[in-house]
């Protein structure tokens, strides 16, 4: 992906050499009231994903992970602090928990379960290793530009999976191309994959469904369910989309939406902070959007970071841009041979949405203490890796 700060050199270096190099702390949207059926527990986890921590806690409490709510998914290769809500347990029971790589910080009660988005911001403290102190003024200058203009709101690599193909799977779902989806999802081994997975995927490529199932790695459980249904159907793949769980389908289509958004953002990068007639302006305070009729009139609001130009997450109910911005959106769909309505994939209620092309960088600090340290706050859903990519450019 291109950089907004191309006129600035990168500092290079490495991230996440140790989990402690990447610290993330949730800033809650609200504080627990002290009353209610849900236990709110603030944890600090090290080297664990949010879902892995939920599973560990659920197993220790003998409850389902589904009763444990969270406001956002946090990095695995990091030290992170976040709040979870747990239904059906007593605070005293939670206090007794002693789990590897999970530390209990605070316990309280509240009326509702935490859900994704119940979050004001995330605070990051990041160490960049293998750089010299000369990197400090460069990082300061780059971050100053980002604080003024905003950070490009690209979707990061996480969105596209460890096989870097979730957007491709989403595209095939949207196109209802079952045969190619199965080949991409279950076959086509990649060099970085473990040997058992490579062997099983190669057997899929050869049409040896039963042998592939016998060799299929247990860790790839979602894929295994699909493969089981193909074996039971005697190698027929036509009904496979029904065997794929709704959450996976949603994720794949979302990744395809994300890829198209990234392409449009790359086209807009040079004027990410400037409105154009026909833009769909995103209101940061409440997530609402409106068509910009007069860019000159609305630009002062963009300068104050109240609003930003936005890009499409294509879907049948999405508010489309007009004018030149609308033409860009129509062109990228035409290049794909698709329409907004095509994104209503089988079994999914995808409406479409707008996403701001930039996000605000707040509370920025940079310092040297035997290494380069950077801290800042980001809104929910924004990627810290996008900030550090601009700084490091490697």
Q: Which positions are catalytic?
A: 75
Other C-beta atoms closer than 10 Å to the C-beta of 275 total 23
- In 3-state terms, the chain is what percent helix, strand and coil (to 5)? 40, 20, 40
Q: How open is the CA angle 50-54-59, to the nearest 5 degrees?
A: 150
Q: How open is the CA angle 115-121-124, to the nearest 5 degrees?
A: 120
Residue from 390, 394, 381, 122 nearest 261 by CA:
381
The tokens 């329409």 sit on which residue?
339
Cβ proximity of 60 and 33 under 8 Å: no
Which 8-state DSSP code applies to residue 15?
S
What three-state secondary structure class fits 160? helix
Q: How many Cα atoms are found within 13 Å in the side-chain-facing hemisphere of 19?
A: 15
Cβ proximity of 133 and 368 under 8 Å: yes
Task: Retrieve residue 254's tokens.
Answer: 């979302």
Task: Retrieve residue 243's tokens.
Answer: 């065997």
Task: Retrieve residue 49's tokens.
Answer: 């994903």
């Amino acid at each position: 992906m291109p950089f907004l700060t191309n006129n600035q050199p990168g500092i290079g270096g490495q991230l996440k050499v140790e989990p402690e190099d990447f610290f993330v702390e949730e800033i809650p949207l609200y504080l627990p009231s002290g009353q209610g059926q849900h236990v709110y527990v603030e944890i600090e986890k090290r080297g664990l994903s949010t879902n892995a921590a939920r599973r560990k806690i659920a197993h220790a409490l003998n409850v389902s992970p589904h009763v444990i709510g969270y406001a956002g998914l946090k990095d695995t290769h990091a030290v992170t602090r976040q709040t979870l809500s747990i239904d059906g347990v007593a605070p005293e029971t939670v206090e007794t928990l002693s789990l590897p790589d999970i530390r209990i910080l605070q316990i309280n009660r509240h009326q509702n379960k935490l859900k994704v988005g119940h979050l004001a911001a995330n605070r990051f403290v990041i160490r960049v290793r293998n750089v010299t102190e000369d990197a400090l003024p460069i990082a300061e200058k780059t971050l100053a530009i980002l604080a003024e203009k905003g950070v490009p709101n690209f979707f990061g690599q996480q969105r596209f999976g460890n096989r870097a193909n979730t957007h491709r799977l989403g595209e095939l779902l949207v196109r209802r191309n079952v045969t190619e989806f199965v080949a991409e999802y279950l076959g086509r081994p990649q060099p970085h994959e473990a040997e058992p997975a490579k062997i099983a995927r190669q057997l899929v490529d050869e049409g040896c469904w039963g042998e592939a199932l016998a060799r299929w790695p247990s860790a790839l459980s979602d894929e295994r369910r699909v493969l089981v249904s193909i074996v039971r159907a005697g190698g027929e793949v036509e009904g496979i989309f029904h065997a794929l769980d709704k959450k996976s389908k949603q994720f794949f289509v979302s990744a395809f939406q994300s890829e198209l958004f990234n392409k449009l953002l790359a086209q807009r990068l040079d004027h990410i902070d400037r409105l154009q007639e026909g833009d769909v302006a995103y209101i940061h305070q409440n997530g609402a959007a409106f068509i910009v009729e007069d860019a000159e009139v609305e630009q002062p609001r963009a300068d104050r970071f109240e609003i930003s130009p936005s890009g499409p997450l294509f879907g049948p109910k999405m508010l489309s841009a007009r004018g030149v911005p609308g033409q860009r959106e129509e062109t990228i769909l035409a290049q794909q041979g698709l329409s907004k309505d095509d994104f209503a994939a089988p079994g999914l209620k995808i409406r479409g949405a707008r996403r701001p092309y930039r996000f605000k960088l707040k509370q920025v600090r940079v310092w040297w203490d035997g290494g380069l340290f950077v801290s800042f706050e980001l809104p929910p859903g924004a990627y810290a890796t996008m900030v550090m990519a601009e700084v490091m450019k490697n």
